[in-house]
Amino acid sequence: MKILVGYKRVVDYNVRIQVRPDGTGVVTDGVKLSANPFDDIALEEALRMREKGLVNEVVVVGIGPADLTAHLRNGLAMGANRAIHVTTAETLQPLTAARVFQKLVEREQPDLVLLGKQAIDDDANQTGQMLAALWDRPQATFASKIEIADGKATVTREVDAGLETIEVELPAVITSDLRLNEPRFIKLPDIMKAKSKPIDVIEMTSLDVDTSDHLRTTLYAAPPKRNKGVMVKDAAELVAALKQKGLL
């Protein structure tokens, strides 16, 4: 069995991002970049499946500029067998990203595509669902448990009302939720080993992907600030203040 794992590079989740004063974007120069946390979880899950003998090949996929190669090496150091780097200078919207994945699915014929449930930069939560639609295959989003057997995946999903379990026939697209697993740390010897693992570099233009998006981002703004609050000295003062505001 072969798994493709989406491995996006995003501004590290601990960075307090700043909106550029002219509203053209957020400041990313010199800001720490990391793997999207949900993608690390997706990769970890794929590696665990391989360790159980369910999977023989785990391929990490990144879409982005030339320097994304270093990021993909991290995925290889974590344990992926090889990487595919689709090169483009553009920032892709989810539909275009899903179309790129669809082209790779045609080439690679994976049994499973594992993606994070959302990227913490655009917070879109769309690419996995879109790929499943374009591929006309099942989707299991927000997965917190995955069991693979007999050409099927039984997936527990984190939904608002609790935990839902669904069964999907493979091939399928599964997106990871936070509670799926705890990703492993990368060890130094693995970083050395990763240097000799193959990275397949593909120009996005050579994939003949429809890049017509219908959304334009026209303005970035900082969220409205909350007014500075007050510190109260004890429980009685707090209750009095809340009562005065009509909240109790």
Contact 131, 61 (CB under 8 A): no
User: Backbone phi, then psi, for 193, in 5-degree steps?
Assistant: -60, -35
Site string for another protein, 28-67 (x = CB under 8 A): ----------------------------------------
User: Backbone phi, then psi, for 52, in 5-degree steps?
Assistant: -85, -5
Closest listed residue to residue 92, CA positions, set 118, 122, 53, 112: 122
* CA–CA separation, 182 and 167 (whole Å): 23
Distance of CA 163 to the CA centre of its chain: 21
Q: How many residues bind another protein (CB under 8 A)?
A: 81
Q: Is 95 in the site for another protein (CB under 8 A)?
A: yes
Residue 230 identity (one-letter amino acid): V
Q: Is 149 in the site for another protein (CB under 8 A)?
A: no
Q: How far is the CB of 51 from another protein (least distance, A)?
A: 23
Contact 42, 115 (CB under 8 A): yes
Binding residue for another protein, selected from 19, 54, 191, 201, defined by CB under 8 A: 19
CB nearer another protein, residue 36 or residue 74: 36
Q: How far is the CB of 199 from another protein (least distance, A)?
A: 28
Contact 118, 124 (CB under 8 A): yes
Under rule CB under 8 A, which residues in 166-205 are in contact with another protein?
166-169, 172, 177-179
Q: Is 105 in the site for another protein (CB under 8 A)?
A: no
**Stretch in the footprint of another protein (CB under 8 A) among 6-14, 43-51, 64-72, 105-113:** 6-14
**Stretch in the footprint of another protein (CB under 8 A) among 52-60, 68-76, 186-194, 229-237:** 229-237
Q: How far is the CB of 2 from another protein (least distance, A)?
A: 19
* CA–CA separation, 39 and 59 (whole Å): 13
CB nearer another protein, residue 87 or residue 125: 125
Residue 88 identity (one-letter amino acid): T
Q: Is 13 in the site for another protein (CB under 8 A)?
A: yes
Quote the tokens at residue 63. Answer: 């879409």
Under rule CB under 8 A, which residues in 153-172 are in contact with another protein?
154, 157-169, 172
